[in-house]
Structure 1
């Protein structure tokens, strides 16, 4: 089983609001990303919250996610303002008690151009020893697949905004999975980027 892990705790300072709450075509990015993980075959899905956690929880529940029986849960990274590494550590820690979970598919909330097709491709056939990363024309990106055997190593090396970068760099087990034909890896950091994406 591949669990979905959505990192959605940032304050979105350049956006002016947490990106999890930003709407694209009327849908909050947090909702859009959870649906992509589910449609890509990941479950359960855990959303790592931080800035305005209650508001993000509310928009998920309004969409029928994060309620009883929805297979979507949330955990708060109290130290979310330290960077992505804190959210990744908190998220992986929350998955260790889930029986039958052999891997975690880590997705970022500000990548609305990465949908179920890329998620499914990276997660396909994953096991405890799997270590994969989506690539776009050969350039490493997201999502990232972390087999359970790698969780402690990733958590131990995740600091600041680097996330799993140092663990993945040069790791002999890492597989790059080309996704440039099914997804667009551009993140949405500013209102101008959001407007361009909405127009496209």
Structure 2
């Protein structure tokens, strides 16, 4: 069983608001990302919150995503993505039966359910994978349970799992360039381009 782990705690300083709350085609990015993980076969899905956690929680509740979606707060979210990743993996260790976690970022609306399915297909506790786009590693990232403690031990600042993944002999790249796009949305201008405004 593969859990979805959505990192959605940042303040979105360049965007001017937390990116989890930014709307694309009328839907908050956090809701869009959770729907993508669910449609790609991840269950349960845990959302890691930080900035304006209550507002993001409200957006998730209003979307009625179901009982398999939960949220935790990374109190030290402002330290960077590493803090959110540590908090999320810690929350998942208490759930039985999980072989792996698929880590996704809230500001990647071009990632599709098909990319999620490809990256998780046949995954087990020893799996370590990254989606790739024309050969370039990006997100989402699949972490088999055997790797969680190693990732937590090295997750700091905004590097997330990058240091753990770099040069790891078990790492597999899963090509997703034909079904998804890895571009993040950091500014209002990027959002307007994506929305076709």
Tell me if 1:179 matches 2:176.
yes
Tell me if 1:60 matches 2:60.
yes
Tell me if 1:108 matches 2:105.
yes
Aligned residue number for residue 149 of structure 2: 152
Unaligned runs of 5+ in 1: none
Deviation at 1:70, TM superposition (A): 2.0
Aligned residue number for residue 19 of structure 2: 19
Aligned residue number for residue 8 of structure 2: 8
The one-character-per-residue Cα deviations of 1:71-122 (angstroms, maximum 9, x if unpaired) are 1000000000000000000000000011110000000000000010100000
Aligned residue number for residue 32 of structure 2: 32
Aligned residue number for residue 88 of structure 2: 91
The one-character-per-residue Cα deviations of 1:142-192 (angstroms, maximum 9, x if unpaired) are 000000000000000000000000000000000000000000100000000
The runs of at least 4 aligned residues of structure 1 exceeding 3 Å deviation read none
Counterpart Cα distance in 2 of 1:9 and 1:126: 26
Aligned residue number for residue 49 of structure 1: 49
| Aligned with 1:137 (options 109, 134, 137) | 134
Secondary structure (helix, strand or coil) at the match of 2:158 reads coil
Counterpart Cα distance in 2 of 1:89 and 1:123: 20
Counterpart Cα distance in 2 of 1:124 and 1:98: 20
Aligned residue number for residue 118 of structure 1: 115
Secondary structure (helix, strand or coil) at the match of 1:153 reads helix
Counterpart Cα distance in 1 of 2:112 and 2:24: 14
Secondary structure (helix, strand or coil) at the match of 1:6 reads strand
Counterpart Cα distance in 1 of 2:120 and 2:7: 17
TM-score normalised over the length of structure 1: 0.97
Superposition RMSD in Å: 0.8
